[in-house]
Amino acid sequence: MADETESGTSLAELRAAFQAEFATNKRAAAETAYAIAFRYRNEDVDGGRQFDTAGDWARRAIEILDNLPTDSLTEVASTRASIGGVPIPGLLHSGVVRERLGDVLY
């Protein structure tokens, strides 16, 4: 399972989606960055877990989310239930990313 999960979405496809979303929809880009980080942490990629890469993607998600409004529940509500086979928390803000992916944020 070098680059795909049972969802059929490769990490390369997710990275391309992130690039497109980053230009047009920061919340969607943050959700995708979270999913990419999760996949690099939890799946074997190129023969092993990629914890440093997972941390890089988690930090991207945090940076984006830290710059989005968080004054109401609708502003932190996720726009998708899952991305690339990764369940996305219903409410996604930087604190959630730090909590769920804290083991790769060193």
63-77 as b/e: b if 16+ CB within 10 A: ebbeeeeeeeeeebe
Residue 80 scores a pLDDT above 60: yes
pLDDT tier, 5 (very low <50, low <70, confident <90, very high otherwise): low
pLDDT given at position 1: 40
- 35 Cβ neighbours under 8 A, 6+ residues apart: 14, 83, 84, 86, 88
Q: What is the pLDDT of residues 34-49, one digit of tens each?
A: 999 999 999 999 999 9
Average per-residue pLDDT in the chain? 94
Token match 């996604």: residue? 92
Token pair in block for residue 73: 């529940």
Q: CA 74 to CA 91: how far, in whole Å? A: 9
What percent of the chain is predicted at pLDDT more than 70? 93
Question: What is the distance between the alpha carbons of residues 70 and 93, in angstroms, rounded to a whole number?
Answer: 8
84 and 78 Cβ atoms separated by less than 8 Å:
no
6: pLDDT strictly greater than 80: no
- Whether pTM exceeds 0.85: yes
